[in-house]
Amino acid sequence: MSTILSDASLTNSSDSLLTVSPDVAPLAWTIADVLSRFAGFPADRIRVYPPPGTATEQDILEAEAQSGRICELIDGTLVEKIMATYESMLAMELIYFIRCYLETHKLGVLTGEAGLLKILPGQIRAPDVSFIRWERLPARGSPKPPIYAVVPDLAVEILSKGNTAEEMARKLREYFQAGVRLVWTIESKTRTARAYTAAGDWTEIGSDGSLRGGEVLPDFELPLARLFAQVEGQRDE
Domain ranges in the chain are 7-80, 85-232
Q: What pLDDT is attached to residue 44?
A: 92
pLDDT in tens, 118-168: 999 989 999 999 999 999 998 888 889 999 999 999 999 999 888 999 999
Q: What pLDDT is attached to residue 5?
A: 62
Q: What pLDDT is attached to residue 27?
A: 85
State which fold the 85-232 domain adopts. Answer: tt1808, chain A (3.90.1570)
- Number of helical (H) and strand (E) elements in the chain, helices listed first: 6, 12
Closest by Cα among 5, 163, 11 to 84:
163
Closest by Cα among 109, 105, 160, 103 to 130:
109
Q: What pLDDT is attached to residue 214?
A: 97
Kindly report the average pLDDT of the chain as a whole number.
89
Q: Which one-letter amino acid corresponds to residue 138?
A: P
Residue 185 has pLDDT above 70, yes or no: yes
List the beta bridge partners of residue 223: 210
- Give the model's confidence band at 10: pLDDT under 50 very low, under 70 low, under 90 confident, else very high: low
CB neighbour burial string for 213-230, b if at least 16 within 10 angstroms, e if fewer: beebbeebebebeebbeb
